[in-house]
């Protein structure tokens, strides 16, 4: 597994990540119609000279009930279809979790999550939250209607009413 600043990725590697994301999520209308955050980091595994899995990370100061937290947003965890079911998704998420706590010194991880993956992330120590989540889009603030999960191994965040992402979603 290798860790890259997203802005310094080689063009061909960046194109591979974009292609895998498009194949996976390109047909979902909300994905196509939303302005997403640019990632700061990409964790990538390569197998047979191709990208076998990656996850992007967005660093952001968010507000939870008006208090600021250093957060890491998990964006586009994708295992190349050929390599699924072999533990790669779990491996790269465990590395990402260690990276966000130990290298980035983030207090929490935040995941805007599809319903069908809640059980996958629960096994990795993420939990669902039920407070209101909002994000910016052009000049307006919108409510995130799907699931949100937190990685908070040090139990910093108590139950809350409102989480503001302070920018576009990821
Ligand atoms: C979800 C995804 C990352 C899983 O990657 P993977 O390498 O196949 O998963 P792993 O082999 O590491 O599985 C780890 C564990 O999660 C479980 N798991 C895998 N996919 C799962 C799913 N879709 N739902 C629930 N559990 C799942 C496995 O059974 C395994 O359980 P175990 O540890 O008890 O044996 C991969 O299927 C993928 O890229 N999906 C499409 C993109 C996507 O939806 N990404 C998430 C965006 S929020």
Query: What's the pLDDT tens digit per position in 4-36?
Result: 999 999 999 999 999 999 999 988 888 888 999
Residue 120: closest CA among 144, 166, 88, 142 = 88
Query: Measured from the CA of 79, which atom of ligand 1 is nearest?
Result: 39
The predicted pLDDT at position 84 comes to 98
Q: Which residues of the chain have pLDDT under 50?
A: none
In the structure, which protein residues have their CB atom closer than 6 angstroms to any atom of ligand 1?
Answer: 24, 77-79, 84-90, 113-114, 116-117, 119-120, 123
The predicted pLDDT at position 29 comes to 87
Distances (CA, A) of 25 to 76, 85, 87: 9, 19, 21
Tell which CATH classification among 3.40.630.30, 3.90.1150.10, 3.40.30.10, 3.10.290.10 matches the domain 2-164: 3.40.630.30
The predicted pLDDT at position 31 comes to 85
* 71 SS3 class: strand
């Amino acid at each position: 597994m290798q860790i890259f600043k997203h802005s310094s990725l080689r063009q061909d590697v960046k194109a591979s990540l974009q292609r895998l994301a498009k194949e996976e999520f390109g047909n979902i209308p909300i994905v196509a119609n939303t302005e997403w955050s640019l990632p700061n980091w990409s964790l990538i595994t390569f197998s047979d000279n191709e990208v076998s899995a990656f996850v992007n990370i967005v660093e952001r100061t968010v507000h939870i009930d008006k208090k600021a937290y250093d957060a890491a947003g998990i964006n586009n965890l994708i295992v190349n279809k050929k390599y699924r079911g072999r533990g790669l998704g779990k491996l790269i998420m465990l590395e990402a979790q260690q990276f966000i706590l130990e290298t980035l010194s983030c207090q929490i991880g935040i995941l805007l999550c599809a319903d069908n993956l809640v059980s996958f992330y629960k096994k990795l120590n993420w939990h669902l939250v039920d407070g209101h989540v909002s994000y910016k889009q052009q000049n307006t603030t919108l409510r995130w209607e799907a699931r949100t999960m937190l990685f908070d191994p040090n139990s910093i965040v108590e139950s809350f009413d409102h989480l503001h992402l302070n920018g576009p979603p990821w």
